[in-house]
């Protein structure tokens, strides 16, 4: 399979690989996917008191497109408010990376990871969230 | 020091390059100066010459099998041979019974043929192999019935390289008068074949795994006791009516020459490959969480199939960008299913997704093996640093205890 230049770039030089302390009250963690399906994404965001994403980290087990999707998402989220971050859709990711149809599910997984990370931080802060978490 | 040719080819079980000696012989059968005649032309030397070359090639193929050349039917490849063998034998013997026995780790050319026969009203038993990939003979015996007419068990598995005990299976099928088909596409030049000692009735072969051209294969069809088939391709009655169509002289000659060389050089080549394969395996052996798929002893020397746990195969291949290998992982929305062969030998989905098949061959060098070890290790290390599963493993978390949100 041929990969787009953007996928290759994120794959070769993944941005924001790493781990934030999941017990930190300001850190939201979202982990989605399953090893049996061939992809697992862990996305973490550090959110300021006024709801701005100050830092984002990821680790991903999966194909090149899954890794690139999560790397891209960490870049997209930094500096945005939780509300803005919550509006990132898989289509934005897929378009930006020029994912072929068979890889769209990687961008869907990244969107799920964002939702799960947001739900986690909201839960930690006692804010209820109607869009419940996928898994954390 | 020889220089490395990048990318390095480590996918000899997918196909092989045509040996120069084979290509030279093939080239003599094409042009106006060459033996271009139709082997079926009986009325002039163009036809006679071509026919002679095709028959020499048939002898070479038969010799490798310990067969008579009258028992060799040319086809377009192993896929066609599998189709002709299984459909041909099952349909011809339909009055005797409609039960077929095969193995879950067979090539799709066998499995999909069986599926088609199921749609036509045949009944197929798909046997589970043992964890090492081999067929348990007791399980096999228990699956045979009064109405079993055809058994199809492969010789060498294309993914994990394990070698089934064909002679032991053949003894059982012969005693019971069941037709025994063997897909031996991966065998020539790697393991000794003797269709008589093994009691094989039908055997599928192709040239392109043996340094011959793509698009040509053969089916061995036993004459004593005679095995009869229903033809699948009808026409001018070539190949004793079993497979019509003008014979492609250059292709037949290419297959014949590649089989001649394979037989001649098998012993020395196997020894050389075993050394290279062991070197490759040793290069990984101190890594954590790696698993060899398939039996190490009952296995062709050119195959190494390894799961690098906590790393996904497709991204691993992407990282091993100077090495041509294949993976048991398929991460597409059409199929999130990992290799059915690895699943059939009981590997869990994670390990199946993490597998890489290295297959080495005639032109593999020690330098290539060393380079492959180095780049593979770097790739695995990089991806494990990226892998949340690797983190969890190091924290001592049991993956099976986690509730994953399967998607
Ligand atoms: C075991 C086995 N059977 C059948 C085939 C199909 O052979 P062909 O490509 O000649 O149709 C292959 C190779 O792809 C194979 O490895």
How would DSSP label each residue in B66-133? T--GGGEEEESSHHHHHHHHHHHHHHHTTTT--EEEEETTS-HHHHHHHHHHHHTT-EEEEEPP-TTS
B139 CA to middle of ligand 1, Å?
26
The nearest CA of chain B is from the CA of A32 a distance in Å of 6
State if residue B257 touches ligand 1 by the CB under 6 angstroms criterion. Answer: no
State which residue of chain A sits closest to B316, comparing Cα positions: A63
Distance of CA B23 to the CA centre of its chain: 22
Q: Residue B406's pLDDT is what? A: 58
State which residue of chain B sits closest to A107, comparing Cα positions: B333
Residue A134's contacts (CB-CB under 8 Å, 6 or more residues apart) are A30, A32, A112, A115, A116, A119, B405
Interface residue A59 vs chain B (CB under 8 A): yes
Average pLDDT over all residues of chain B:
95
For a mutational test of ligand 1's pocket, the pick from B158, B159, B303, i.e. the residue with the most ligand atoms closer than 8 A to its C-beta, is B158
User: Which of A3, A32, A39 is facing B312, going by the closest CB pair?
Assistant: A39
pLDDT in tens, B276-313: 999 999 999 999 999 999 998 999 999 999 999 999 99
Q: Which residues of B144-159 are buried (b: 16+ CB within 10 A; e: fewer)?
A: beeebbbbbbbbbbbb
Number of the ligand 1 atom closest to the C-alpha atom of B157: 1
Q: For residue A133, is pLDDT > 50? A: no
Tokens of A103: 């890889």
User: Which of A11, A14, A61 is facing B312, going by the closest CB pair?
Assistant: A61
- B355 DSSP β-pair partners: B307
Q: Roughly how many angstroms between the first and final C-alpha of chain A, as a whole number? A: 32
User: How far is CA B12 from each of CA A2, A4, B242, rounded to the nearest angstrom?
Assistant: 22, 28, 31
Q: How far apart are CA B203 and CA B211, in angstroms?
A: 19
Average pLDDT over all residues of chain A:
91
The residues of A annotated with a catalytic role in the active site are 37, 106
**Torsion angle defined by CA atoms of residues B257, B258, B263 and B268, in that order, rounded to the nearest 10 degrees:** 120
pLDDT band at residue B336 under the 50/70/90 scheme: low
Taking an 8 Å cut-off on Cβ atoms, the answer to whether B350 and A3 are in contact is no
Residue B14's contacts (CB-CB under 8 Å, 6 or more residues apart) are B326, B359
User: How far is CA A22 from each of CA A28, A42, A52, A73, B358, rounded to the nearest angstrom?
Assistant: 7, 11, 17, 19, 39
B111 CA to middle of ligand 1, Å?
12
State if residue B183 touches ligand 1 by the CB under 6 angstroms criterion. Answer: yes
State if residue B186 touches ligand 1 by the CB under 6 angstroms criterion. Answer: yes
B107 CA to middle of ligand 1, Å?
7
State if residue B218 touches ligand 1 by the CB under 6 angstroms criterion. Answer: no
- B300 DSSP β-pair partners: none
Contacts of A68 in chain B (CB under 8 A): none
Interface residue A94 vs chain B (CB under 8 A): no
Share of chain B above pLDDT 70, in %: 97
Q: Residue A81's pLDDT is what? A: 96
Q: How many residues would you count in chain B? A: 407
Would you call B335 exposed, middle or buried from its count of C-beta atoms within 10 A (0-12, 13-18, 19+)? exposed
Q: Residue A128's pLDDT is what? A: 66
Q: Residue B329's pLDDT is what? A: 67
Tokens of B320: 């091993």
The residues of B annotated with a catalytic role in the active site are 331
Tokens of B130: 């043992």
Q: What is the mean pLDDT of residues B314-319?
A: 92
B208 CA to middle of ligand 1, Å?
9
User: Which of A40, A63, A101 is facing B315, going by the closest CB pair?
Assistant: A63
pLDDT band at residue B350 under the 50/70/90 scheme: confident
Q: How far apart are CA A134 and CA B371, in angstroms?
A: 42
Least confident of A36-45, A102-111, B211-220, B330-339: B330-339
A68 CA to middle of ligand 1, Å?
34
Chain B residues contacting A, CB < 8 Å? 310-312, 314-315, 318, 329, 331-334, 336, 338, 348-350, 353, 383, 385-391, 399, 403-407
Please compute Rg for chain A using Cα positions.
Answer: 14
State if residue B85 touches ligand 1 by the CB under 6 angstroms criterion. Answer: no
The nearest CA of chain A is from the CA of B136 a distance in Å of 28
Neighbours of B43 (CB within 10 A): 7
Tokens of A135: 């898994």
Specify the DSSP element, H or E, that contains B205. strand B202-206
Q: How far apart are CA B329 and CA B353, in angstroms?
A: 4
B12 CA to middle of ligand 1, Å?
12
For a mutational test of ligand 1's pocket, the pick from B103, B163, B189, B206, i.e. the residue with the most ligand atoms closer than 8 A to its C-beta, is B206
Q: Residue B2's pLDDT is what? A: 58
- The protein residue whose alpha carbon is closest to atom 15 in ligand 1 is B185
Sheet strand arrangement including B202-206: B72-75, B217-221, B202-206, B179-183, B148-152, B99-103, B123-127
> Does residue B86 contact residue B181 with C-beta atoms inside 8 Å?
yes
Q: How far apart are CA B262 and CA B190, in angstroms?
A: 8
Taking an 8 Å cut-off on Cβ atoms, the answer to whether A109 and B310 are in contact is no
pLDDT in tens, A61-119: 999 999 999 999 999 999 999 999 999 999 999 999 999 988 999 999 999 999 999 99
Taking an 8 Å cut-off on Cβ atoms, the answer to whether B405 and A105 are in contact is no
Neighbours of A102 (CB within 10 A): 15
Residue among B154, B144, B97, B103 at smallest CA distance from B122? B97
Q: How far apart are CA B57 and CA B247, in angstroms?
A: 12
User: Which of A31, A63, A135 is facing B388, going by the closest CB pair?
Assistant: A31
Q: For residue B270, is pLDDT > 90? A: yes
Q: Residue B332's pLDDT is what? A: 52
Q: How far apart are CA B273 and CA B303, in angstroms?
A: 9
User: Which of A34, A63, A101 is facing B405, going by the closest CB pair?
Assistant: A34
pLDDT band at residue B248 under the 50/70/90 scheme: very high
Interface residue A30 vs chain B (CB under 8 A): no
């Amino acid at each position: 399979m041929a990969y787009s230049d953007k996928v290759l770039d994120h794959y070769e030089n993944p941005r924001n690989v790493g781990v934030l302390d999941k017990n930190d009250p300001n850190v939201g963690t979202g982990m989605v996917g399953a090893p049996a399906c061939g992809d697992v994404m862990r996305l973490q965001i550090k959110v300021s008191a006024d709801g701005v994403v100050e830092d984002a980290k990821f680790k991903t087990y999966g194909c090149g497109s899954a890794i690139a999707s999560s790397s891209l998402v960490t870049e997209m989220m930094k500096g945005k408010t939780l509300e803005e971050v919550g509006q990132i859709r898989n289509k934005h990711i897929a378009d930006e990376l020029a994912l072929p149809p068979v890889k769209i599910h990687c961008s869907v997984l990244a969107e799920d990871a964002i939702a799960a990370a947001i739900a986690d931080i909201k839960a930690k802060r006692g804010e209820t969230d109607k869009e419940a978490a996928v898994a954390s | 020091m020889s220089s490395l040719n990048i990318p390095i080819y480590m996918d000899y079980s997918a196909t092989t390059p045509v040996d120069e000696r084979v290509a030279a012989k093939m080239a003599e059968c094409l042009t106006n100066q060459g033996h271009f005649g139709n082997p079926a032309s009986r009325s002039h030397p163009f036809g006679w010459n071509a026919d002679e070359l095709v028959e020499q090639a048939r002898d070479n193929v038969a010799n490798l099998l310990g067969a008579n050349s009258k028992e060799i039917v040319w086809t377009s490849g192993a896929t066609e041979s599998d189709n002709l063998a299984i459909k041909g034998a099952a349909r011809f013997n339909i009055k005797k019974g409609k039960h077929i026995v095969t193995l879950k780790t067979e090539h799709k050319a066998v499995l999909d043929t069986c599926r088609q026969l199921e749609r036509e009203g045949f009944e197929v038993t798909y046997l589970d192999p043992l964890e090492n990939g081999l067929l348990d003979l007791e399980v096999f015996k228990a699956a045979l019935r009064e109405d079993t007419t055809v058994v199809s068990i492969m010789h060498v598995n294309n993914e994990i390289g394990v070698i089934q005990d064909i002679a032991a299976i053949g003894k059982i099928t012969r005693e019971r008068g069941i037709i025994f088909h063997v897909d031996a596409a991966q065998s020539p030049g790697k393991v000794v074949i003797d269709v008589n000692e093994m009691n094989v009735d039908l055997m599928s072969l192709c040239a392109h795994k043996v340094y011959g051209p793509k698009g040509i294969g053969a089916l061995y069809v036993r004459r004593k006791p005679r095995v009869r088939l229903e033809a699948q391709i009808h026409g001018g009655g070539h190949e004793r009516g079993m497979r019509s169509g003008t014979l492609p002289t250059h292709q037949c000659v290419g297959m014949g020459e590649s089989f001649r060389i394979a037989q001649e050089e098998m012993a020395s080549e196997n020894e050389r490959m075993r050394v290279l394969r062991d070197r490759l395996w040793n290069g990984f052996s101190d890594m954590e969480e790696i698993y060899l798929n398939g039996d190490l002893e009952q296995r062709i020397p050119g195959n190494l199939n390894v799961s690098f746990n906590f790393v996904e195969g497709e991204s691993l291949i992407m990282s091993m960008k100077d090495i041509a290998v294949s993976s048991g992982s398929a991460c597409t929305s059409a199929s999130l299913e990992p290799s059915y062969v690895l699943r059939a030998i009981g590997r869990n989905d994670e390990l199946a997704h993490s597998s890489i098949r290295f297959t080495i061959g005639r032109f593999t060098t020690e330098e290539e093996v060393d380079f492959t070890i180095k780049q593979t290790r770097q790739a695995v290390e990089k991806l494990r640093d990226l892998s949340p599963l690797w983190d969890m493993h190091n924290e001592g978390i049991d993956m099976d205890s986690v509730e994953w949100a399967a998607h």
